[in-house]
Every structure is written in structure tokens, then in C-alpha cells.
């Protein structure tokens, strides 16, 4: 399943738009040796079929005062379906939680939390996260340095 139903041109489009979503069809056409009309149709198809989910601007978190990134591992007390659903439903409401995954292994969920500083994190933990029902343990780890942050899949 690699490539699935994508030809070389489709792969090329995905590779290039993952690096820069603002590339014009003209630039893509030049790079991939196709006409702009062909590229236009391919891009339309890649979007309508869901290969490209969306295009977003990546903002510098530090420049807008989000200087602290935490990864918090959450273990729940109960693991019934309704307990899991209830946690998921509540945690996604917190704007500080930018990512949340249900995991295998020693804990249940991992959260990526983005916030201004440690005081704010402390406050978030005490007044928001720990207030949810069914929270067992929360273990927090903080990013000291970002070594690699890639949004583009290798193709």
C-alpha cells in the first residue's frame, strides 16, 4: 500500500505541498512537468478524497507567549467505555491541550499541553486537569529543547 492509488505526480504534489502549502499550481506544474490544468485537477482530487486534510499556517508559539510545552501522561482510575469517553469529551475542551492520544501501555492518555509558563501550568493542572472526575495519576514532562518538529510525512 505504498503508493496506494497515487501516481508519481500525486506523490510529488503531496511532498511539495507538505513543505509549502502556498505553492502555486504554476510552480507545481513546472516542478512536476505537467500543465497547470492537470495540477489543478490533481490537487482538487487529493483534497476531495481526503489525502490533504487541510492547509494551515504554523505559528511560532514562543513569539505569542506560549513558551512551555508539557507532555502529560494520564492514568484513569476506571476504564469502562463510558469513563474513557467521558474523559475524552472533557479534555478536548481545554484549549491548552493541543494534542491528546489514547495509548497502549503503562498509562492511558498522553497530552501535549502548550502554555505560557510553569505558573500557568501549575494552575492548569490544579484547577482544570486534576478537577476532571476519574483522574488517577498525572505525570508531567517538560520540553527543554525542540530537536525536530516535522509536519511532513516522508514520501
Q: Which residues bind a second copy (CB under 8 A)?
A: 1-4, 6, 14, 17-22, 50-61, 63-66, 69, 71, 88, 91-92, 95-107, 109-110, 114, 116, 140-155
E strand or H helix that includes residue 69: strand 68-76
Specify the residue, 52 or 132, whose C-beta has the smaller distance to a second copy. 52
Long-range pairs for 85-92 at CB < 8 Å and ≥24 separation? 86/133, 86/134, 87/132, 87/134, 87/135, 90/132, 91/129, 91/132
Return the closest-CA partner of residue 94 out of 77, 112, 78, 82: 112
Picked from a second copy, DNA, none, the partner binding residue 153 (CB below 5 to 8 A depending on kind) is: a second copy
Q: What CA–CA distance (Å, rounded) separates 152 from 71?
A: 21
**By CB under 7 A, residue 25 contacts DNA:** yes
Shortest spacing between CB 56 and a second copy, in angstroms: 5
Minimum distance from CB of 112 to a second copy (Å)? 9
Q: How far is the CB of 154 from DNA (least distance, A)?
A: 23
d(CA 139, CA 75): 9
Q: Does 42 participate in binding DNA (rule CB under 7 A)?
A: yes
Binding site for DNA (CB under 7 A): 9, 24-26, 34-38, 40-42
Amino acid at each position: 500500500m505504498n503508493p496506494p492509488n497515487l501516481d508519481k505526480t500525486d506523490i510529488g504534489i503531496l511532498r511539495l505541498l507538505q513543505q509549502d502549502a502556498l505553492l502555486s499550481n504554476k510552480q507545481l506544474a513546472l516542478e512536476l512537468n505537467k500543465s497547470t490544468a492537470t495540477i489543478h485537477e490533481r490537487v482538487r482530487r487529493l483534497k476531495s478524497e481526503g489525502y490533504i486534510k487541510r492547509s494551515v499556517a504554523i505559528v511560532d508559539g514562543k513569539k505569542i507567549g506560549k513558551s512551555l510545552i508539557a507532555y502529560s501522561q494520564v492514568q484513569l482510575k476506571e476504564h469502562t467505555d463510558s469513563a474513557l469517553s467521558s474523559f475524552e469529551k472533557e479534555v478536548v475542551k481545554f484549549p491548552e491541550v493541543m494534542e491528546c492520544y489514547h495509548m497502549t501501555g503503562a498509562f492511558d492518555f498522553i497530552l501535549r499541553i502548550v502554555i505560557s509558563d510553569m505558573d500557568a501550568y501549575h494552575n492548569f493542572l490544579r484547577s482544570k486537569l486534576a478537577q476532571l472526575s476519574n483522574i488517577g495519576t498525572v505525570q508531567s514532562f517538560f520540553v527543554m529543547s525542540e530537536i525536530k518538529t516535522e509536519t511532513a510525512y516522508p514520501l
